[in-house]
Structure 1
Amino acid sequence: MSTTIDLAVRDDDLGLPDRIARFPFPFTRDTYRYSTNVEPAGSPVATAAGGWGRHPVDIDGHYLDDLTERERILGADPTRFQSLPHMEIAQWDAMVTLMRMLADAYPETFALERDGEARLFVNRALGLEQSFVFGDRSTLPDPPLRFIGRHLQEDVVLLDQREGALWGDAGLVTFAADWSLRFDVGMSFRQIHGPVPRVHTEGVIPRAEQFLMGLQAGQCYRRTNWSLSVDRRLDQSTETYPEWGRDRRLLAEGPLEDVGRRLHLRVEVQHLVRLGVSGAIMFLIRTHLLSFEDIARVPEWSGRLYSVLDELPDDMADYKGIMRTRGPGLRWLRTYGGVRS
């Protein structure tokens, strides 16, 4: 397999590995509450360790491993890909848009060329070339959304807009954080966010939906979300809860010195794009995981993470599934992470 993507772990000018320097640390203050926290995409975000956010699609040193993991998950559970019949054109629209994004962000690795009706997509990292005709399913080996999922680390959800609302009617989601695409497909935007505490009384979800429905073709915005994970496990879907749910209890009951290595801050960088052909909204979810040990290498991060976890209200901590792991995380940061409470 040949690749022109720099997949090596390297140190930046601060002496930090790439996984730390490029991590999208999500906290800008010592407290956290739900908000729309949406901003235009495409501009770099500077952090205490480096920076992130130059492109809507992001490829890093986990690229090949993450794609292998996605194929394993889909092989075991094909229902992680869902699409209602009326979303066919939206699938094609999303696929071509993502191909362009990859080619624009990493032209040394990806290309999208056109010759009349035929188009050619090239992924040099995987040694793959695929010609296709937009809208002709016979020219692809998989449905369009399933096909492009083989080439990027992001999960993808497609929102249809009708009846004055948004509906989650298609998606390829293998790295969910305690939710299920199979359960949510066909639900409205407000139904999908029904279990989230505080956001309805504070009007966050209606404001977010109105904002999204106002997006114009080609506009792209981003936001972040976060939780805690035990180990570097991307797949924490509802379907696999028996496999990962007990790890929270075992971590809490285990040796404190293991917490720094095993407990991770899990951050989703979410991009929202209005597609030009179908009018659908493409929701990209890129999951990043960084251990508490690595976070402690950036004192500004470890102190802020401690403050956020310590102050977070219990109902929000419960929804995020961190009630068992928050305490051990705080104790580890005090004992080993250089934080003075």
Structure 2
Amino acid sequence: MSTPTRIETTAEDIARYPFPLPERQYRYSTNVEPAGGRVETAAGAWGQLCIDIDRHFPAESAERAAILAADPTRHACLPHMIAAAWDAMLFILRELAEGYPERMSLTRDGQVYHWRNTDLGIDRNFVFGDAASLPTDPLSFVCAQIQEDVVLLDQRDGTLFADAGVVTFAADWSFGFDVGMSFLEIHGPVPRIHEERVITRAHDFLMRLAPGESYRRTNWTLTVDGKLDTSTEVYPEWGRDRRTLAEGPLAEVGERLYLRTEVQHLIRLPNSGAIMFLIRTYLLPFRAVATVPEWGERLHAVLAELPDDMADYKGLTRTRGPGLRWLSEFGGFGTAGTAGP
């Protein structure tokens, strides 16, 4: 599948960007906080809404549709998760209606809900749980209206399992492969997390979530050429990008290398009791990061200090060296002695 061209970065993109590095050193942690609070940054703010629709929606929606058409395994819902899928859809529609009341609304008359999305020209009635009242399954219906990926976790026998979702913008992992696996199995390859019990603590935290509770966290990595879909399924389409970046002119790194942030919302759905992960991905090229001096300096410090095993797991072995050199030479951050490999 061809790679969509990234829209030119604007001041609005920078102001809305959820910069993920609060310290000069990065280590794995649960780093969760209650959802919904505004986060001030050196360039602006983010975090006011659980579901964030921005100017990139048309392009990302079209890309999602193309990915799902080419690879249906990016969408799965095991039979016992149908109720959770309806629960997730209703939760998201309510969030959209609350966050964008001038463009979207959700009302109810007895058993019949009325959903209106003027952005997409949707105006229809549906009955919760009645498959015939929607044009498609509930996850497909709602994920066509948001930029977030969705993963639903079932809780049974004291363990969480990833049993449903729509994931088109994975960062070097495969939702199709992980469907039906436990939360702990999925995170098994991550270095350091077992000795430090990071994932065990995260699992225990999720298990304790009460119905309706919502938290969030951030995660980050680097990606080349602004690709959202860097799943393992399409590795042949993006794997060589890291090599061409490393071997190419240093001057091009600022445009080609992106800081990728995921804002992950963790929500215990109120009716089914399933846990929903909403994963929203934001991309910002190094050139734009460098326009915010605090961000450029912080990114340089984190990349320079990051242990090799963590850099390797994040897929940064080839890209962090060029990134550090570009930040040093073109951004003026760090020194030549700390420009990395």
TM-score with structure 2 length normalisation?
0.95
How does 1:71-90 map onto structure 2 within 5 Å? 71-90=65-84
Moved over 6 A (4+): none
2:180 equivalent to 1:179: no
Match of 2:307 in 1: 313
Q: Name the residue aligned to 2:279.
A: 285
Unaligned ranges ≥5, structure 2: 1-6, 336-341
- 2-side partners of 1:180 and 1:167: how far apart? 15
Give CA-to-partner distance per residue, 1:151-194, whole Å, 9 cap, x none: 00000000001100111000100000011111000000100100
Give the aligned partner of residue 48 of structure 2.
54
Over residues 31-80 of structure 1, what are the superposed CA-to-partner deviations in whole Å (9 max), with x where a residue is unaligned?
A: 00000000000000000000100011111110111111100111111111
Question: Residue 323 of structure 1 aligns to a residue in which SS?
Answer: coil
Q: CA deviation at 1:324?
A: 0.3
Residue number in structure 2 paired with 1:328: 322
Q: Which amino acid aligns with 2:67?
A: I
Of 294-303 and 131-140, deviating more is: 131-140
- Deviation at residue 133 of structure 1 after TM alignment: 0.6
CA distance, structure 1, for counterparts of residue 21 and residue 64 of structure 2: 28
Contact 2:222–2:259 (8 Å) recurs in 1:
yes
Could you report, residue by residue, the CA deviation over 1:200-230 in whole angstroms, capped at 9, with x for unpaired residues? 1100111101111111111100000000000
Query: 1:278 & 1:66 partners in 2: Cα distance?
Result: 29
Tell me, what secondary structure is at the counterpart of 1:202? coil
SS at match of 2:258: strand
Written as runs of structure 1 = structure 2, the 5 A alignment for 1:73-222 is 73-222=67-216
Q: Which amino acid aligns with 1:198?
A: R
My pick for the range that moved more, 109-118 or 87-96, is 109-118
Deviations, residues 231-270 of structure 1 (Å, cap 9, x unaligned)? 1111011100000000000010000000000100000000
Give, in whole Å, the separation in 1 of the partners of 2:247 and 2:125.
Answer: 53
Residue type of the alignment partner of 1:114: R
8 Å CA contact 1:257–1:332 kept in 2: the answer is yes
Mapped contact 1:263–1:291 kept (Cα < 8 A): yes
Question: Residues of 1 paired with 2:125 and 2:305: CA distance?
Answer: 53
Partner of 1:274: 268
Structure 1 unaligned residues grouped into runs of 5+: 1-7, 11-15
Q: Is the 8 A contact 1:306 1:330 kept in 2?
A: yes
Look up the equivalent residue of 1:233 and give its one-letter code. K
User: Conserved in 2, the CA contact under 8 Å of 1:9 and 1:17?
Assistant: no
**1:26 and 2:10 aligned:** no
Structure 2 residue identity aligned to 1:268:
E
Q: Distance in 1 between matches of 2:305 and 2:8?
A: 34
Aligned equivalent of 1:229 = 223
User: In 1, are the aligned partners of 2:300 and 2:334 still within 8 Å (CA)?
Assistant: no
Contact 2:153 2:275 in 1 (8 A): yes
Contact map agreement 2:92 2:142 (CA 8 A) in 1: yes
Q: Which residue of 2 aligns with 1:70?
A: 64
The equivalent of 1:5 in structure 2 is none
Secondary structure of the residue that 2:226 maps to in structure 1? coil
- Mapped partners of 1:198, 1:293: distance in 2: 31
Alignment check: 8 A CA contact 2:212 2:269 kept: yes
SS state of the match for residue 145, structure 2? coil
Give the Cα separation in 1 of the matches to 2:227 and 2:99. 26
The answer to whether the 8 Å contact 2:246/2:318 transfers is yes
Identity percentage of aligned residues: 62
